[in-house]
Amino acid sequence: MINRRKFLLSSSSAFALTQLPSNVYAKNGIQHYKLVAEAAEHIFYPNAQKSKLSLYNQQSPGPTIHAVKGDILEVDFLNLLDEPTTIHWHGIRNLNEMDGVPGLTQPAVEPGETFTYRFPLKDTGLFWYHAHTQAWKQVTKGLYGPLLVRDVNDETHHRDVLLVLDDWLLDDNEQLQLDSLGSLHDWSHGGRHGNFLTVNGQSKPNIAVPSNGQCKLRFLSATNARVMKFELNKKIPMKIIAIDGSPCAPFAVEKLTVAPAQRYDILVEDSSQLEELIEVSTSERLMAASFSTTKNTQVKYDTTPLHRPWYPLPQTTHAKIIDIHMQGGAMGNLASAVFEGEEKSLRDLAQNDAKLWAFNGEIGGYGLALADIALGDTVILRVWNDTRWRHAMHLHGQHFWVNSKEFGEQNRQVLRDTYLMQPSEKVDLIFTADNPGLWLFHCHMLEHHASGMGGVISVT
């Protein structure tokens, strides 16, 4: 349960959209940034004690990377941690060698070493970057940040309001509870849940919005495992116009459910009505942030051309079907599984290997090949969540179509990269394999991934 004590600690200062850092420049279509991962201290609210974290450029969240569709993004990365790390560019249909998965697409960046990420930005939308080495620990400590890619003709982006969500597990001294990292209880149940909510790195921030007219609220969840649910004050309808970066046909929801790694763009017709963002996933209604208006002229979004997703739902007549049977976890039906070529009982796997989840009877990892796909194939990942737990399933390098059950009683065909599966749910994730490489498919409840819920799809 989220701790109300932490939620009610207020901040009186308005949070402005993250400014471009001084270590960024644009030249000849190349957006150049520098990111440094290092130990850092952060204050979550006025007069709080300094919390010891690991951050990019000493910021929580890390600096907002701004770019324009068609740009080349070039990031010089320096690792000043005391352990290896990499950066994954979540939601980007990336070059495989730039995807940031250590041992699969690149070697880990060792302490004191540098690595340059360089790749084209083919899509507009809200994406994010985060550590992908021991992510269950490094993301927990704060190694993540947003990536915003806009169209060159977008004249409304200055009315966008970024909301980066996270929950932290803190003690009474505002320090991360590190002793519980790696807890088998978390790994076998719902993952690591925090007791302290932040929006844009602050507890209950006051966020500036335009004084009138339309604005876009851009939600990004950086939680390890918690699924959050939000309302606006007066139950202002949330009109969803983009999902995981991709535009969609607009539709409204009263409550917005946001699973780990998911992103949503919400169009608000009259920003002057915004007062509070309220978290409602538990029995308590907890104010996550308040809004205050600034002086802005009224501008109307032209959402008409944005209704089209990046690409249409493929024809599936000749699709290649890949069956993925997810098992394991507490109260599950997995008695044993194959790990490193040996059949072991689940008890043995849990106690000796910290492995608790399986795909098709095998403990997952970067060495588990789920399928070999030819470039250009239409693919159906036919996934069965045969467990007692929800899972936020993420596919690297591609987006997929899914007949989503995430928005109430009515299913919706949407294009996304991270889908929240319910216990016992069976679903088809459909995509055209137009991006060659070795691509990870895994649960973004980070503890589930670490303990076996992941595998690799090869596109050649």
> What is the three-state SS of 330-390?
CCCCCCEEEECCEEEEHHHHHHHHCCCEEECCEECCCCCEEEEECCCCEEEEEEEECCCCC
Task: Give, rounded to a whole angstrom, the gap between the first and last alpha carbons of the chain.
Answer: 45
| Dihedral angle, C-alpha 8, 13, 17, 19, nearest 10 ° | -130
Q: Which of the four pLDDT bands, split at 50, 70 and 90, describes residue 24?
A: low
Q: Residue 234: what pLDDT?
A: 86
Q: Residue 302: what pLDDT?
A: 66
Intrachain domains 4-306 and 320-459 with the same fold? yes
pLDDT digits (tens, 9 = 90+) for 347-357: 999 999 999 99
Q: Assign domain 320-459 to its CATH superfamily.
A: Cupredoxins -  blue copper proteins (2.60.40.420)
pLDDT of 428 > 70? The answer is yes
Q: Residue 26: what pLDDT?
A: 53
Query: Which token pair is 11?
Result: 């901040």
Query: Could you tell me which residue, 17 or 64, shows the higher pLDDT?
Result: 64
> In the CATH scheme, what architecture does the domain 4-306 have?
Sandwich (2.60)
Alpha helix locations (H) across 141-292?
A: 184-188
In the block, which residue shows the tokens 């991934």? 449
Q: DSSP per residue over 69-96, as a string?
A: TTPEEEEEEEE-SSS-B-EEEET----G
Query: Could you tell me which residue, 294 or 73, shows the higher pLDDT?
Result: 73
In percent, how much of the chain has pLDDT > 90? 86
pLDDT digits (tens, 9 = 90+) for 356-400: 999 999 999 999 999 999 999 999 999 999 999 999 999 999 999
Q: Residue 298: what pLDDT?
A: 66
pTM for this entry:
0.92
User: What's the count of helices (H) and strands (E) in the chain, helices before strands?
Assistant: 5, 35
Q: Residue 386: what pLDDT?
A: 98
Contact between residue 105 and residue 99 where contact means Cβ atoms under 8 Å apart: yes
Phi and psi torsions of 352, nearest 5°: -105, -20
Average pLDDT for 98-118? 97
CA angle, corner 446, sides to 440 and 451, nearest 5?
Answer: 80
Q: Residue 388: what pLDDT?
A: 97
Average pLDDT for 422-445? 97
| Dihedral angle, C-alpha 430, 432, 436, 442, nearest 10 ° | -10
**Average pLDDT over the chain, rounded to an integer:** 91
| CA–CA dist 154, 358 (Å, integer) | 44
Alpha helix locations (H) across 19-148?
A: 135-138
Q: Where are the domains of the chain?
A: 4-306, 320-459
pLDDT of 12 > 60? The answer is no
Nearest to 388 by CA among 304, 330, 460: 330
Q: How far is CA 422 from the centre of its chain?
A: 18
